[in-house]
Amino acid sequence: MKILLYNPDNGITRNFMPHLWMFLLQALTPKEHEVILIDGNAKAMTREELVEFCRQENIGLIGIGAMTRMVARAYKVADSLREAGFKVVMGGPHVTECPDEALGRDGGPRHADAVALGEADETWHLIVEDAANGTLKEVYQPELDAKGNDIKPGLQEYPHIPWETLDLEQFSLVPKFFRPMLSKMGAGWGKFFVVPIETGRGCPYGCEFCTVTGFFGDSIRFRTNESVIEELLRLKKRAKEERGQIAVFFIDDNLAINKKRLKVLLRDIIAAGAQLPWVAQISANLLKDEELVDLISESGGKWIFIGMESIDPENMASVNKNFSKPSDYKEVLDRLAKRNIYAITSFIFGMDNDTTGVAARTVEQIESWSPGLPVFGQLTPFPATPLYTRLEKEGRLKRPKHWLEFAPFVMAHTPLKMSIEDAKEEVNQAWSRSYSPERNAEALEMIKDAPIEFRISHFVARVFFRGIYFPQMKKREWLYLLFQNRKTILGLTKEGVKTWRKARKNKKQIETIQQVNADELT
């Protein structure tokens, strides 16, 4: 049987990183079946085109995964495919939280023939077998323990994802028109992929707005260090062979949740020479350890995503995230920046103690810290989170099924001290100010003593991150952006060329000395 795994596009950015679930399920599919992957973020297709594709390929089962944010799109795609007679199974966080919605048991239309609840590592092969035998059931769920909770898959036996041979072309982050020029630079920058790798699952912190503790559970499970390192080494080899760049996103929700274990993993990565540039999510409270930050740096850590949420401790308490202290943020970022590691700092507006002006107040503080890449969003009640339940009880949900009428950056409930429109405006202001050409120049000035390669990568990251809120897809948009930042680009280019010439001169001098020494010896 041929199986299509499909991830709908997120409606904002086209291209960032492949979704791990697709590659994982592909690797877990019994070998007699063929699996095709399509990520709508990288390969845009209309619903008609997708139906036609499935007809031509004679697809026997379609698996669709989606976060809450893109579930409405996922339902539309599923509807078109089911109308054309294909069998659709849906999985992922949203349908786990709202299975009745996907199955049409809540009075709404039905979108899926079957749903996979929770982690599907151990149920996927059953779904495939049942679909192949024409006996697909409605609900697939992991086995339950004595307390009625899902038995979570252990990650000690992790499947082999063949990153070394997979066609990743659709995920290259380098715009096509830059590729010929960039492939000649240094070790080669004609292709740049970010690849997701998980080293563990689960987070016990239970922040009020987060689905992770509910979905993956509060017991943390890890892969073996050997299996993570083996995956890294294969990626490293591929990057070298293709004269491109591969960075890794360790997608664990809190990579340092067990600091002792992370330190051992990072030491093992260093010992095996498996370093690739990497980014990961780590909460601020776990980044106070100098030894850990040293190891992060030595093992290739470049960017750390930190869910800072708010600079107001009252807000942090209101979402059960008291363990992360705004008063620590500056010190944490400075500690990272000392090692040329920068932070992606995530903030949420529209919390209960936020008032208008929160963007200006927050950005002012951010600008006084070592520069990073701030990202801004609004508080969103995802289904099955404690936040959703609280707001529902308080009668504050304006759009209880906000995902069915998805509106970017529009809150689904009214914050206590500002309006929904205010919150949207605050988010907009924070993005515009943080990624303006002036701010980009200022951020680079703040790290002027860092080696040029770090400053270039910082600038490039800023230009890409801006795209989360202001997507730049077309050549014209890119050129305009580069024009706006021309002073910074010119400065970096001049210095880059100077450094490169100096390095080339030094190399020549060393070669001449070596030649002279060799001549004298013969």
Instruction: Look up tokens 């083996």; give the residue.
Output: 230
- Amino acid present at 232: L
In the complex, minimum distance from the CB of residue 509 to ligand B12, in angstroms, rounded to a whole number: 45
Q: Give dist(CA 59, CA 120) in Å, integer.
A: 21
Q: Give dist(CA 314, CA 353) in Å, integer.
A: 7
Residue span binding ligand SF4 (CB under 6 A) among the ranges 149-157, 158-166, 198-206, 330-338: 198-206
Site membership for ligand SF4, residue 213 (CB under 6 A): yes
Work out which of 27, 45, 67, 446 binds ligand B12, going by CB under 6 A: 67
In the complex, minimum distance from the CB of residue 385 to ligand SF4, in angstroms, rounded to a whole number: 9
Site membership for ligand SF4, residue 315 (CB under 6 A): no
The three-state DSSP-derived secondary structure of 243-302 is: CCEEEEEECCCCCCCCHHHHHHHHHHHHHCCCCCCEEEECCHHHCCCHHHHHHHHHCCEE
57 token code pair: 């390929």
DSSP conformational letter for 448 = T
Closest alpha carbon to 17 in 198, 153, 207: 198
Please choose which of ligand SF4, ligand B12, none residue 254 contacts, taking the beta carbon within 5 to 8 angstroms, the exact cut-off set by kind: ligand SF4
Site membership for ligand B12, residue 467 (CB under 6 A): no
Residue span binding ligand B12 (CB under 6 A) among the ranges 83-91, 144-152, 315-323, 363-371: 83-91
Site membership for ligand B12, residue 198 (CB under 6 A): yes
Looking at beta carbons only, is 420 or 444 nearer to ligand B12? 420
286 token code pair: 């776990």
Residue span binding ligand SF4 (CB under 6 A) among the ranges 128-136, 209-217, 353-361, 389-397: 209-217
- What is the number of other CB atoms lying within 10 angstroms of the CB of residue 450? 16
Size of the site for ligand SF4 (CB under 6 A): 11
Looking at beta carbons only, is 13 or 457 nearer to ligand B12? 13
Judged by CB under 6 A, the chain residues 219 through 278 that form the site for ligand B12 are 251, 253
Residue window 91-120: x/- pattern of binding to ligand B12, with contact defined by CB under 6 A? xxxx---------------------x--xx
In the complex, minimum distance from the CB of residue 191 to ligand B12, in angstroms, rounded to a whole number: 18
DSSP 70-130: GHHHHHHHHHHHHHTT--EEEESHHHHH-HHHHHTTTSS----SEEE-S--TTTHHHHHHH
Work out which of 153, 307, 374, 381 binds ligand SF4, going by CB under 6 A: 307
Please choose which of ligand B12, ligand SF4, none residue 116 contacts, taking the beta carbon within 5 to 8 angstroms, the exact cut-off set by kind: ligand B12
Site membership for ligand SF4, residue 254 (CB under 6 A): yes
DSSP conformational letter for 404 = G
Work out which of 19, 73, 302, 458 binds ligand B12, going by CB under 6 A: 19
In the complex, minimum distance from the CB of residue 166 to ligand B12, in angstroms, rounded to a whole number: 15
Looking at beta carbons only, is 375 or 444 nearer to ligand SF4? 375
Please return the burial class of 407, using the count of CB atoms within 10 Å of its CB with bins 0-12, 13-18 and 19+. exposed
Looking at beta carbons only, is 89 or 336 nearer to ligand B12? 89
- Residue 36's alpha-carbon distances to 84, 131, 167, in angstroms, are 19, 16, 11
Instruction: Look up tokens 């001098």; give the residue.
Output: 509
Residues in the chain: 522
Site membership for ligand SF4, residue 212 (CB under 6 A): yes
Looking at beta carbons only, is 96 or 245 nearer to ligand SF4? 96
Please choose which of ligand SF4, ligand B12, none residue 24 contacts, taking the beta carbon within 5 to 8 angstroms, the exact cut-off set by kind: ligand B12
Looking at beta carbons only, is 193 or 388 nearer to ligand SF4? 388
Please choose which of ligand SF4, ligand B12, none residue 93 contacts, taking the beta carbon within 5 to 8 angstroms, the exact cut-off set by kind: ligand B12
Please choose which of ligand SF4, ligand B12, none residue 307 contacts, taking the beta carbon within 5 to 8 angstroms, the exact cut-off set by kind: ligand SF4
- Residue 396's alpha-carbon distances to 68, 338, 352, 414, in angstroms, are 19, 44, 12, 6
Q: Give dist(CA 62, CA 85) in Å, integer.
A: 11
Residue window 314-333: x/- pattern of binding to ligand B12, with contact defined by CB under 6 A? --------------------
DSSP conformational letter for 197 = E
Judged by CB under 6 A, the chain residues 273 through 292 that form the site for ligand SF4 are 283
> What's the gap between Cα 138 and its chain centre?
30
Site membership for ligand SF4, residue 203 (CB under 6 A): yes
Looking at beta carbons only, is 253 or 312 nearer to ligand B12? 253
Specify the pairing of strand 200-201 against strand 221-222. antiparallel
In the complex, minimum distance from the CB of residue 384 to ligand B12, in angstroms, rounded to a whole number: 8
Compute the Cα dihedral for 139, 145, 150, 155 and give only its sign: negative
Report whether 302 contacts 246 (CB < 8 A).
no
Q: Give dist(CA 172, CA 188) in Å, integer.
A: 13
Task: Select the residue whose beta carbon is closest to ligand B12 and give its number.
Answer: 91
Please choose which of ligand B12, ligand SF4, none residue 371 contacts, taking the beta carbon within 5 to 8 angstroms, the exact cut-off set by kind: none
Looking at beta carbons only, is 62 or 256 nearer to ligand SF4? 256
Convert 145-180 to b/e letters by CB count within 10 Å (16 or more is b).
Answer: eeeeebebbebeebeebebeeeebeebbebeeeeee
Helix orientation angle between 259-271 and 225-241, rounded to the nearest 10 degrees: 40
Please choose which of ligand SF4, ligand B12, none residue 213 contacts, taking the beta carbon within 5 to 8 angstroms, the exact cut-off set by kind: ligand SF4
Q: Name the residues that contact ligand B12, by CB under 6 A.
A: 10, 12, 16-17, 19-21, 24, 63-65, 67-69, 89-94, 116, 119-121, 124, 196, 198, 210-212, 216, 251, 253, 377, 382
Q: Name the residues that contact ligand SF4, by CB under 6 A.
A: 203, 205-207, 210, 212-213, 253-254, 283, 307
